[in-house]
Amino acid sequence: MSKPQRNRIALVDASSLPSIITVTTATARIMNKRNYLDQAATSFPKPEEVYTAVEDYSRHLGSAVGRSGYRTATKVQTTVDRCRKKIADFLGAESANRIVFTFNGTDSLNLAIHGLLQERDHVITTVCEHNSVLRPLNTLKRSKNVELTVLDADSQGRVNPQDVKQAVQSQTKLVVMTHASNVTGSIQPLEQVGDICRENDLVFLVDAAQTVGHLPIDLRNLPVDLLAAPGHKGLLGPLGTGILYLRSGMEDRIASLRQGGTGTNSEQDTQPDELPQKYESGNHNAPGICGLEKAVDFLLERGIENLRQHEIRLTELLLDRLKSIPNIIVPGTVEAQHRVGVISVTVNEMEPQIVSSILDESFGIETRAGLHCAPLMHHAMGTDLLGGTVRFSIGPFTTEEEIEVASKALASICQSV
């Protein structure tokens, strides 16, 4: 692993226009409302239909998935099958059984990483990754002598595909990369990296925690072998849901990590080989999947392109407002179309936890402060010594008013210190 260079990711000083935005009494009253800008952690609020579906299952259905043939059990199974099909269609997967239900994005990534890698395999990854990638890889580094190459990012927080190509070794098996950073929001060049993986017969695993439900994704045209995502972030579903997509043939290379009841082939004493049962032992999160189906309906009805344009517009608005506040620094690309709605900032070199606490207690603005489970990214930016950054993240229910309130609150904090 090459040691990332400190301050390699650009920290853009947004004080080119040194005007201070003052907070009026009317604005302060607005700020007392709850302003949730932590969508990168989990989406809130959910579409109303999601709450209704979870309650309806809990109050009126209650049957386990795939375990019985009576009417309510059949209804639950039908809902799960329908949800799987809708997600497959939403992502352009070849078939519904290519979508495996997990319990979160971390569960999906662990299944892919631990299920694939063997003794002394070589893996290429990046400084942009979440601990849901880094910790499984480092665990396998210790337990199975898996070798890691960790690539740096450029000043915009993006990985150069040629660096991936140059890192390939004879024992390389896997390239794992986040689709978009949960710190900078920068979108990675998946198509180019995927093409390199195909040319070298490498498995390409994508952590799409910050992009599924935010960016258009068509797996029919994207050279990705495995794609992991939670159901509770951009997909707008309940916590405790997740998916892993496996391209055809991957099921022969990914071992099941859990074995047990699937409701099928009960006469066998070994795990079924068929998808998705191979990876879905034990009871599903049935209420969560019922809610997830309605969340996907919402995304399909609104249209991913429309939701993306909403996100770009609000991201541009926040970036524009930050330019007028002295001593605000924004890492990553300044072009909204090249990032998701995730914007991290440092404020007057204040500890991010203090800034986040002031935003919450004084203005009702909910953000996330710290290293965001992505320590190498903060090390590359040089923000690790400060304790990280304050992260604002946008979702489909975020409004222009909330962005204006957040920017005025930041201006007020900068003015007071």
CATH number, domain containing residue 344: 3.90.1150.10
Q: In this structure, are 218 and 360 located in the same domain?
A: no
**Confidence (pTM):** 0.92
Q: Using one digit for the tens of pLDDT, what is the confidence trace for 345-366?
A: 999 889 999 999 999 999 999 9
Are 377 and 402 contained in the same domain? yes
Residues of the chain with pLDDT under 70: 1-32
Domain-located, residue 3: no
**pLDDT at site 18:** 32
* Greatest C-alpha distance within the chain: 73
Say what the pLDDT of residue 332 is: 80
Would 5 be classed as within a structural domain? no
Q: Are residues 205 and 291 in the same domain?
A: yes
Decide which of 277, 302, 327 is a domain's last residue.
302
For residue 250, being part of any structural domain is answered with yes
Residue 6 placed within a domain: no
| Residue 21, in any domain of the structure | yes
Q: At 99, which CATH number?
A: 3.40.640.10
Boundary residue ending a domain (286, 302, 318): 302
Q: Are residues 379 and 290 in the same domain?
A: no
Report the distance separating Cα 128 and Cα 188, nearest Å. Answer: 10
Q: Both 248 and 172 in a single domain?
A: yes
- Rounded distance, CA 287 to CA 283, Å? 11
- Compute the Cα dihedral for 218, 220, 225, 230 and give only its sign: positive
Please check whether residues 266 and 318 belong to one and the same domain: no
Q: Judge if 318 and 258 occupy the same domain.
A: no
Question: Is there a domain that residue 1 lies in?
Answer: no
Sign of the alpha-carbon dihedral angle for 83, 87, 90, 96: negative
Domain region containing 147 = 48-302
- DSSP symbols for 119-164: TT-EEEEETT--HHHHHHHHHHHHHH--EEEEE---TTS---HHHH
| Together in a domain, 277 and 357 | no
Give one word for 157, left, alpha or beta, with left for phi > 0 and alpha for psi -120 to 50: left
Residue with the two structure tokens 């990705």: 224
Domain shared by 387 and 296, yes or no: no
Is 4 a domain residue? no
Q: What does the pLDDT read at residue 26? A: 43
343 three-state secondary structure: strand
Claim to verify: residue 266 and residue 288 sit in the same structural domain: yes
Q: For residues 212 and 61, give the distance between their C-alpha atoms in angstroms, rounded to a whole number.
A: 29
Report the run of H or E that residue 206 belongs to, with start and end: strand 203-207
As beta bridge partners, residue 144 has: none
pLDDT of residue 292: 98
Residue at a domain's end among 245, 272, 302: 302
Number of domains into which the chain is organized: 2
What percent of the chain shows pLDDT beyond 70? 92
- Strand 226-230's sheet: what is its strand order? 99-102, 242-246, 226-230, 203-207, 172-178, 122-126, 147-151
Whole-number CA gyration radius for the chain: 22
Residues 399 and 314 in one domain: yes
- Do 156 and 298 lie in one domain? The reply is yes
State the Cα torsion 330-335-340-343 to the nearest 10°: 10
